[in-house]
């Protein structure tokens, strides 16, 4: 345990290092740049590599190349760069290459408001790359959580051979808090499964009991093929429908069947809550205060740390007795759509703000106490 006064971005970088990240490639962009700066300074100290690439497309490409070489790797960006990365998020899904992509959200679309926070990239994280695919996205609410969820992001990416997106925002990324960071031995760190068969028996995309085939590093004697094309179990391109279907079914199943392991939420006073607030990221901080202000009125709070796959069960359980579900978020209602799908549109009150200012506890309280 060590105590420090840190920015969310710095905590994210330290979390990555603690999780075993040894490669970072990125391109400067506000409000994520301090992650790159911290990694540039710290990575060589642990024998890792930092490189500043020519753009965000190349950054994620280099991350994937390094991950195939056996290093845990990540990049960090904000909305405009995140848009450029979508091409390679799809490649990482297709080729099942573990990596972590941090998006410190700022107000968009386009250049938008670089120094103002937003939660506008929730749906881009889900569906930004083309084609049907599963994805994991996490969202921290505090500096300590920036550290913890970065470790979790690496663990999930290694465990499920998938890209994991960490959706931070300009508030949690830039604010400073006093934090106690866990010592290395207190952390659970997961490394990808390695093949335990000789190279000639190895199939990098084989169906396995866990749905996650072991991954060999380039350089370790397993000479296999990786492609963004639909491929068979050996990694070679295929047009056979049975192989394409089997692959697509498996990559969805490997996430969907483990939602319990992936979906992280924090429930506060949700039992018998007649009004439930569902919040994430920096907005959850204001929601906490609003719920405290309304504590006499059976108001509960569900904080979503995992946004994708959507924590469906936790939301249904928490909203079980609720007459009203308030969803504050700094966009025009991206998570609210998911909540409406589950609990019914008539119950949901959105508190939306997409002007670069945080939602205040008073605004959330007004929605909680609103008389129809």
Partner 1 sequence: MATQRQLIYDYLRHKKKFPNIWCAGCGIGIVMGAIIRAVDDLGYDKNQVAMISGIGCSGRMPVYLDFYTMHTTHGRALSFATGLKLARPELKIIVVMGDGDALAIGGNHFIHTARRNIDLTAIVINNATYGMTGGQYSPTTPQHMLATTAPYGNIEQDFPICELAQVCGAAFVARSTVYHVEELQGYIEQGLEKKGFALIEAVSYCHTTYGRLNRLGSAVDMMRALKENSITRQAAEKLPPEELQGKIVRGIFVDREVPEYTELYQKIIERAQSGGKA
Is residue 17 within the footprint of partner 1 (CB under 8 A)?
Answer: no
Kindly tell me which residue out of 21, 29, 71, 264 binds partner 1, with binding defined by CB under 8 A.
71
Please tell me whether residue 191 binds partner 1 under the rule CB under 8 A. Answer: no
C-alpha 198: how far from chain center: 34
Question: Judged by CB under 8 A, which stretch of 3-11, 47-55, 175-183, 274-282 contacts partner 1?
Answer: 47-55
* 3-class secondary structure, 265: strand
Which range of residues in 142-150, 173-181, 215-223, 347-355 is near partner 1 by CB under 8 A?
215-223
From candidates 30, 87, 289, 347, binder to partner 1 by CB under 8 A: 87
CB-wise, 16 or 273, nearer to partner 1?
Answer: 16
The total number of residues written for the chain in this structure: 372
Q: Smallest gap, in angstroms, from Cβ of residue 88 to partner 1? A: 7
Backbone φ and ψ for 90, nearest 5 degrees, come out as -60, -40
Q: Using the minimum distance from each CB to partner 1, give the nearer residue, 223 or 312.
A: 223
- Three-state DSSP class for 315? helix
**Contact letters for partner 1, residues 48-67 (x by CB under 8 A):** -x-x-xxx-xxx-xxxxxxx
Least CB distance from residue 325 to partner 1, whole Å? Answer: 41
Decide the pairing of beta strands 163-169 and 99-107: parallel
Q: What is the DSSP string of 65-95?
A: HHHHTT-EEEEEE-HHHHHHHHHHHHHHHHH
Distance between CA atoms of residues 302 and 287, nearest Å:
9
Joined tokens for residue 195? 């093949």
Tokens representing 66 are 């390094």
Give residues 226-285 in contact with partner 1 (rule: CB under 8 A): 226-229, 234, 236-237
Contact 238, 244 (CB under 8 A): yes
Q: Is 203 in the site for partner 1 (CB under 8 A)?
A: no
Q: Does 327 bind partner 1 (CB under 8 A)?
A: no
Distance CA 258, CA 316 (A): 17
Comparison of 49 and 175: residue with beta carbon closer to partner 1 = 49
Reference 277, options 259, 251, 298; nearest CA is: 298
Query: Which C-beta is closer to partner 1: that of 52 or that of 346?
Result: 52
| Contact between 125 and 164 (Cβ < 8 Å) | no
When asked if residue 91 is in the footprint of partner 1 (CB under 8 A), the reply is yes
Point out which residues bind partner 1 (CB under 8 A): 23, 25, 40-41, 44-45, 47, 49, 51, 53-55, 57-59, 61-71, 73, 87-88, 91, 217-219, 221-229, 234, 236-237
């Amino acid at each position: 345990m060590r105590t420090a006064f840190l920015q969310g971005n710095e905590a994210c970088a330290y979390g990555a290092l603690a999780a075993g990240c040894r490669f970072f490639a990125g391109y400067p962009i506000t409000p994520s740049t301090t992650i790159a700066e911290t990694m540039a300074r710290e990575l060589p100290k642990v024998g890792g590599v930092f490189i500043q690439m020519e753009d965000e497309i190349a950054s994620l490409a280099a991350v994937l190349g390094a991950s195939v070489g056996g290093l845990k790797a990540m990049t960090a960006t904000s909305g405009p760069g995140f848009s450029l990365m979508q091409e390679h998020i799809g490649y990482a899904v297709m080729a099942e290459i573990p990596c972590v992509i941090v998006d410190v959200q700022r107000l968009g679309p386009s250049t938008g408001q670089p120094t103002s926070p937003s939660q506008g990239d929730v749906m881009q994280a889900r569906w930004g790359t083309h084609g049907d695919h599963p994805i994991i996205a996490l969202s921290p609410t505090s500096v300590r959580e920036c550290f913890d969820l970065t470790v979790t992001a690496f663990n999930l990416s290694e465990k499920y051979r998938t890209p994991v997106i960490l959706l931070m925002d300009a508030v949690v990324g830039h604010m400073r808090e006093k934090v106690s960071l866990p010592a290395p031995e207190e952390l659970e760190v997961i490394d990808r499964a390695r093949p335990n068969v000789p190279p000639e028996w190895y199939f990098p995309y084989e169906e396995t009991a866990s749905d996650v085939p072991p991954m060999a590093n380039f350089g370790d004697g397993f000479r296999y093929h990786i492609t963004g094309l639909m491929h068979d179990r050996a990694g070679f391109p295929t047009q056979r429908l049975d192989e394409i279907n089997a692959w697509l079914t498996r990559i969805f199943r490997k996430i969907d069947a483990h939602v319990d392991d992936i979906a992280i939420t924090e429930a506060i006073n949700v039992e018998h809550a007649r009004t439930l607030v569902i919040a994430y990221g920096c907005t959850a901080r204001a929601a906490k205060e609003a719920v405290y202000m309304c504590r006499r009125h059976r108001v509960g709070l569900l904080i979503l740390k995992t946004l994708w796959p959507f924590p469906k069960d936790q939301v249904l359980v928490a909203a079980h007795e609720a007459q009203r579900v308030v969803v504050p978020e700094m966009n025009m209602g991206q998570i609210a759509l998911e909540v409406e799908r589950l609990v019914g549109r008539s119950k949901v009150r959105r508190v939306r703000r997409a002007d670069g200012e945080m939602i205040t506890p008073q605004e959330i309280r007004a929605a909680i106490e609103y008389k129809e």
